[in-house]
Chain A
Amino acid sequence: MTVVEVDELAMSYRAPVRNGGLRAALGSLVRREYKTVQALDQVSFTIGKGEVVGFIGPNGAGKTTTMKILSGILHPTAGRVAVLGDTPWQRRAPFLKRIAFVRGSQPVGGSQELTVMDSLEYQRLLYDVARPDFRRTLDELQQLLDLQLDRQLRALSLGERMRVGLAMALIYRPEVLFLDEPSIGLDVTAAAQIRRFIADHVRTTGATVLLTSHYVADVTSLCERLILIDQGKLAYDGPFAELSARLSPYAADLLESLREEDR
């Protein structure tokens, strides 16, 4: 069964060009110059139910843009996208309850004075989770993620924030998970803990996962399949093992440099 279907996806946007200085600032009020940025170009792929796919590429390649389109935050310029049979950017409530998008750079939003438990309770209301289900999921998550429910969000360390961010997303048991850099900024042990948790979660729930990461360890330990995009174009889609053999020299360098970063 196909969960994510992406067909000839394209995204371009106009960005204002502005020079520094007062005169340019005043001038830009009257007449602005724009340049068109092609963020995604003819990207196609499908993801089956229960697959865990690694989504890699250099900074600015279009990974986050794709994730935002798949989760419904952005509307593409062209192409067809179906996630769980739905068009994401219509943002229908039943669809939104079945997906989650967690960003390592902003794992938990909302009021930072709230406690972890308050935030989870709010999620329960927001996503209409039945109380017994909520209790059961919370017990599981609490064990696996080692949550301290009475702490304030602002007092959490980076690693704790990411774990809370995952808990807030998983409390409503989404079928599709988009994880954008889940281990960014974490130390080795914290990143390994997150990785282990994601692997366990996928095994027990059969959730479909698309994951971006700069850390090759994240990708190699979790994903059998890799999608590589570069400058908005699909550069590779297949098993990790075949990647270096089949790649152009440039892309091989790229992968090598990703490994370097990981060290």
Chain B
Amino acid sequence: MRTLSLLTFRIRQQVLEWSGAWWFLLTLVVQAVIAPLIGLFIWSAVYPDDPSITRYYVAIILVTLMTESFEQHTFSNRVYDGTLSHELLRPQPVVLGVIGENLAIRGWLTLLGAPIVLVTAIALHTTFAWQSVLLAIPGIALAAVLIFLFTFLLSLTAFWTDRVHPVVGFGSQLAFLFGGTAAPIGLLPDGWARIAEALPFYGMHGLPAEIASGKQYDGSLGYQLGWVAVLTIAAAAVWRAGIRRYTAVGS
């Protein structure tokens, strides 16, 4: 209960702090939207008569906006400039602050990006079935958790190297290719599609977008939950090792 109220406090504080930089948030929206938008145009050029392509990609845009993570900037910078030490002194888990800022930024991006999604959907005559959208909500929530865990895990390498941006950049390249943004998973060559379905990236963008656009849905979220468990354990282990190193070096 205390954790929850601390988190709410942190989110509110961060929402206010970011409100002064709304134009910067807008550029982040553009950054988030651009890759799925390119995918939308390319695949619409390949299948001009298939409305499910546009529906899928509009959903991808929305999922991307709602799940963007920037721990390589927010958290890693605090490691680099040493201000992480202040947070280690506070009687609350450090990750709570990271999550609070993450959710605040996502909230802003979703709010500012919603008009773009709406305009795209209307311009391309895309409609969604509301049942599918409702069904997709748990999937989107789990996707948000997965992306956070993945980005945070990679950002923790800031304890060992000052090149955290290439590391996270590499992670987003994988997510772009295997997560359903470069191409819907079903359109990957056969063997690759099988691999992509097993990797965690499909659960970050492609799966919830497919559910929202009304494709097959067997009701099981086990695949996403499994990866959440794996990434949580990994992040916790890396965090413990990183903190040991950070406090030993004493910066």
Query: Residues of A at under 8 Å CB distance from B?
Result: 22, 25
B19 located at the interface, meaning its Cβ lies under 8 Å from any Cβ of chain A in the complex: yes
A52 to B20, CA, bound (A): 47
A25 to B21, CA, bound (A): 9
> A22 — which chain B residues lie within 8 A by C-beta?
19-20, 22
Residue on A nearest B19 in the bound complex, by CB = A22
Closest A-B pairs by Cβ, 5 of them: A22-B19, A25-B20, A22-B20, A25-B22, A22-B22
Chain B facing A: main interface SS: helix
Query: Residues of B at under 8 Å CB distance from A?
Result: 19-20, 22
A25 to B18, CA, bound (A): 12
> B20 — which chain A residues lie within 8 A by C-beta?
22, 25
A22 to B19, CA, bound (A): 6
> A25 — which chain B residues lie within 8 A by C-beta?
19-20, 22
For this complex, 6 residue pairs linking A to B, each with C-beta atoms less than 8 Å apart, are A22-B19, A22-B20, A22-B22, A25-B19, A25-B20, A25-B22
A190 to B208, CA, bound (A): 64
User: B104 to chain A: closest CB distance in Å?
Assistant: 14
A25 to B22, CA, bound (A): 10
User: B114 to chain A: closest CB distance in Å?
Assistant: 18
A132 to B193, CA, bound (A): 70
> B19 — which chain A residues lie within 8 A by C-beta?
22, 25
Residue on B nearest A20 in the bound complex, by CB = B20
A47 to B58, CA, bound (A): 70
A25 to B19, CA, bound (A): 9
A22 to B16, CA, bound (A): 8
> B22 — which chain A residues lie within 8 A by C-beta?
22, 25
User: B111 to chain A: closest CB distance in Å?
Assistant: 13
User: A164 to chain B: closest CB distance in Å?
Assistant: 26
A25 to B20, CA, bound (A): 7
User: A215 to chain B: closest CB distance in Å?
Assistant: 31
A25 to B23, CA, bound (A): 11
A170 to B15, CA, bound (A): 51
User: B25 to chain A: closest CB distance in Å?
Assistant: 12
A100 to B145, CA, bound (A): 57
A188 to B20, CA, bound (A): 43
A22 to B23, CA, bound (A): 12
User: B40 to chain A: closest CB distance in Å?
Assistant: 31
User: A44 to chain B: closest CB distance in Å?
Assistant: 43
A22 to B22, CA, bound (A): 9
A28 to B129, CA, bound (A): 42
